[in-house]
Amino acid sequence: MKIALAWLKIMVVAFGLIFGSAALAVDSNYISGIWAIPATKQLGDRLYNVAPQTCANTCSANAACTGFYSFTDWNTCQLYGADADIASRIGPWSNVQMNWKKPSPDPLTQYTSGIAPIPNNGALTETLYGYQPQQCAKMCNAKADCIGFHSFTDANICRLYGLDSTWSTTNGPWSNVKMYMKVTQPRILMVDAHVLTTTNGGNEGWTREFLQKLLAKATQQMNGGEVVFSLGGYDRVVDDALYNGRLQWPILQKFGNTTHQGRVTIYVSSPYPTDASGLSWQGVTFAPYSVISSRHNSFNDEDIEETAKIFLHEMAHNQGFYHNSSTDWVANPSDGGGSFLSFPYATDWYWNNSPLARQVWARLADWSKLHQKGIDQSLKANNYNCAIGAQLPNRGAFPAPNVPARTSQECAARCSQSTSCVAFYSWTDSPTCVLFDATSIGHDTEAGWLNVEMCWRK
């Protein structure tokens, strides 16, 4: 029995070291505890014969210092610099106290929180130990595709989540686990990537981590992240013939049935194809799909940027954009070249030059999230008056393209999602959806069709 009790005490101590325990702050400007400490981001050398309060004063006087550790059993001090609070961790140890400057403004003010169920999939990170909620919030803020995180109320543990978590099954709730969600949710488009390779290898550098860098660059180019591209599914496809054939067209044909509504699908071919750097179907779709080349496989910044532009170019074809032409690009000497004034938009440079073109992706992201979460099947009947063959408005349609909806129920959900939408029509024999704003009310109408259902808000 004495042996068992001794082991129990050891286990309790070990548990406390893993999850952290409270400690007194050296002063009111710091939060402190026996927590894991950063493995990198040290600011200067370790200091000896320095009392904890002196260490705090040294950090407070240095704008570059974000926190410090001090030993509880002798006077040793180490300062940390920028982003140390979200760096990789080591420890904790029972005789080393970590002290962090209180963040200002508090990043948690950008989140709503509560004791709520937490997702069991869609995580962006593994479980992270030794992190305060404020530090978890800072990490989430640094990830454009992070929508929130959970954090333990009695231990320094958290995990970050992406868009796929919002419609996953959930666990809990538990009284000691809080869910934090960003007040302003990012517009996210999920991207499923399939990388071609051979039985002898190929495209080895096209890892999940590299694709995340590529999509982050595409997000950055999209007006600094107006729409966020987030990597969802990832796999490697062994196909010697397609990889060695150096042609995009056979790949596009073969895998056209692997797409998913509301998500982007890309296939990565071998480097240096002979037909194109990228290839996609031309036309408005709710399941964007394209093939892009792995290019030079150099993985430098220039190569990543150029590949991101190819990705954005091919995506544009999936929304009906065309190559530059006299109808797409109108000369405008005031801005040094031209401006996008009409639809369809041009496939190149719209991400920098055309707010209206970028709105296409914002709308697609909103509708994709709506589709993935599921549609309330009673929404249409409860909120709209519908009739097949009724007259159609000849004005007030939302800016093209209106990507097809599989059912009129989903079209109704899209209209309800927008405060400016008052009506929609949908074809009964093929996927379609056209939304209308208030300018359509009381104006001239066109004759209806027996295969078109016109619906107005009640």
pLDDT per residue over 254-269, tens digit each?
A: 999 999 999 999 999 9
**What token pair was written down for 41?**
């981001």
Q: What is the pLDDT of residues 217-244, one digit of tens each?
A: 999 998 877 899 999 999 999 999 999 9
Residue type, 345: Y
Whole-structure pTM over 0.85, yes or no? Answer: no
Spell out the residues 6+ positions from residue 75 whose beta carbon is closer than 8 angstroms to its own. 48, 49, 50, 51, 52
Q: 20 falls in which pLDDT band (50, 70, 90)?
A: very low
SS3 186: coil
Mean pLDDT value of segment 422-450: 91
Q: Which of 90-94, 350-354, 452-456 has the lowest mean pLDDT?
A: 350-354
Q: 173 falls in which pLDDT band (50, 70, 90)?
A: very high
CA distance 199 to 237: 10
CA nearest to 127, candidates 168, 98, 103, 155: 155
Q: 264-269 and 289-293: which strand pairing?
A: parallel
CA distance 36 to 322: 53
Mean pLDDT value of segment 287-316: 92
**What token pair was written down for 113?**
């929180």
Mean pLDDT value of segment 264-283: 92
CA count, 13 A, side-chain hemisphere, 404: 16
- Residue 411 pLDDT exceeds 60: yes
Q: Is it true that the peptide bond before 103 is cis, omega within 30 degrees of 0? A: no
Residue type, 282: Q
Residues facing 83 on adjacent strands? none
30: enclosing H helix or E strand = strand 30-34
